[in-house]
Structure 1
Amino acid sequence: MGFVKEEKSKKVLRGVKTVFFLITMLISFLLFSAPILLVIADTLVPFSLFSASLSPSSLSLESLSSHFNNYDFRYSLVDIPLISIIRSVVIICVYNLCDGPRLSRGPYLGITTICSVSSLIYVSFKAPRVFRVSSTDRGEYVRAMEIALFICSLLLAIGHVAVAYRTSCRERRKLWVYKIDIEAVSPSLLLSASSNWS
């Protein structure tokens, strides 16, 4: 009986270790791929909220082209998901082009900040004009989706800056550790090389 209990406890402990390992791997994956996940969210979520603010029958390529043709800064919301998509494309292109040193203190953080702050200013400038318009012809659901669209765009812009800053700090720490390792290894290599020559 004692042997069976011991086997069961080992199985439970093994299961707990496996679950802990999987959770740790998932968290590290989310942390290291945060820029990519945020870009995907920034591309899909605002467009989904914009689609939800329209009636399902009006969501088509023709209706989207009519939104662009009849664009008015005070009424139209089609520019909000478009800005999110453009912002995401620019940020992911810069992220893919940058290596460790450039991610640590280079164009990635700077361009991400410029794109995010520019879109923040645009959305903050647009929001009062959109919501100043009388909402008698809009339902509460549509109004809620419009508010969610603006809030989501603002939060994602701030999220891009936060993730870019965190990524640059992580890469800076990696470079610092690498530099310390090189400085620690180089003198020992020089000593061993000189002893071999002698």
Structure 2
Amino acid sequence: MGFSMEEKSIRVLRVIKTLFFLIAMLISFLFFSVPVLLVIADTLLPFSLLSASLSPSSLSFKTLSSHFNNYDFRYSLIDIPLISIIRSAVIICVYSLCDGPRLSRGPYLGITTICSVLSLIYVSLKAPYVFSVSSIDRGEYAKAMEIALFVCSWLLAIGHIIVAYRTSCRERRKLLVYKIDIEAVSTFKNGFPGYKKIPKQERIK
């Protein structure tokens, strides 16, 4: 038996409502998981770009040990992903240990800002040395990957500050709403200002 046009429209409407609900839930999940997702990106992207800049070689344990043994601030790039990992580890630890009040105006925003600004200063000081050497000794592809690595590190550091600030503002709004609700309930229980309860005997008279 086929469905009537009305039943089909009802089914389509239900499907649309279900999809809308799932999309809203996904957006809400991504919105509240932005600090975690940014930490994951800050951990993976710099290493991926570093591996691409080493083409045709790949980033392995042997090449990592070689980079550490031959480290030089002027041209080595291994410290850029390490800074991202350390920065992300500190930020995610502080974020996981903080509750609502601490996320609103506590250590999360301050520590995130300090870590991001320090990493920005370090990467900015390192960039002129690396680009002056790479412009002579490296090809165009490796140079492009190095530029992408530095830009990615800068953008992720700024992204941490923006996300921490927005998270702080969101938690402050939540605490404000919660405080208003508590004060409203307390006022309702204690009676409104200027309201005097009349004894039951006087009301009977």
TM-score normalised over the length of structure 1:
0.92
Cα distance in 1 for residues equivalent to 2:117 and 2:47:
20
Unaligned runs of 5+ in 1: none
Cα distance in 1 for residues equivalent to 2:28 and 2:97:
22
Cα distance, 1:58 vs. partner?
Answer: 4.7
Unaligned runs of 5+ in 2: 201-205
Amino acid of the structure 1 residue aligned with 2:131: F
Aligned residue-pair number: 194
Given the alignment of the two structures, is residue 26 of structure 1 paired with residue 21 of structure 2, yes or no? no
Cα distance, 1:137 vs. partner?
Answer: 3.5
Given the alignment of the two structures, is residue 55 of structure 1 paired with residue 55 of structure 2, yes or no? yes
Moved more, 10-19 or 38-47: 10-19
Amino acid of the structure 1 residue aligned with 2:89: V
Amino acid of the structure 2 residue aligned with 1:78: I
Given the alignment of the two structures, is residue 89 of structure 1 paired with residue 96 of structure 2, yes or no? no
Cα distance in 1 for residues equivalent to 2:161 and 2:20:
30
Root-mean-square deviation (CA), in Å?
Answer: 2.0
CA contact (8 A) 2:51 2:58 kept: no
User: Percent same amino acid at aligned positions?
Assistant: 80
Moved more, 36-45 or 139-148: 139-148
Moved more, 93-102 or 61-70: 61-70
Cα distance in 2 for residues equivalent to 1:179 and 1:18:
34
1:86-106 superposed Cα distances (whole Å, 9 cap, x missing partner): 000000000011110000001
Cα distance, 1:136 vs. partner?
Answer: 4.4
Given the alignment of the two structures, is residue 186 of structure 1 paired with residue 180 of structure 2, yes or no? no
Q: Which residue of 2 aligns with 1:40?
A: 40
Cα distance, 1:62 vs. partner?
Answer: 2.0
Cα distance in 2 for residues equivalent to 1:107 and 1:144:
37
1:127-184 superposed Cα distances (whole Å, 9 cap, x missing partner): 1111112534422221111111011000000000000000000000010000000000
Amino acid of the structure 2 residue aligned with 1:111: I
3-state SS, counterpart of residue 72 of structure 1: coil
Cα distance in 1 for residues equivalent to 2:31 and 2:23:
12
CA contact (8 A) 2:36 2:92 kept: yes
Cα distance in 1 for residues equivalent to 2:58 and 2:16:
51
Cα distance in 1 for residues equivalent to 2:7 and 2:23:
24
3-state SS, counterpart of residue 135 of structure 2: coil
Cα distance in 2 for residues equivalent to 1:185 and 1:134:
66
Cα distance in 2 for residues equivalent to 1:156 and 1:15:
38
CA contact (8 A) 2:50 2:149 kept: yes
Q: Which residue of 2 aligns with 1:135?
A: 135
Amino acid of the structure 1 residue aligned with 2:85: I
TM-score normalised over the length of structure 2:
0.89
Q: Which residue of 2 aligns with 1:151?
A: 151
Cα distance in 2 for residues equivalent to 1:23 and 1:58:
38
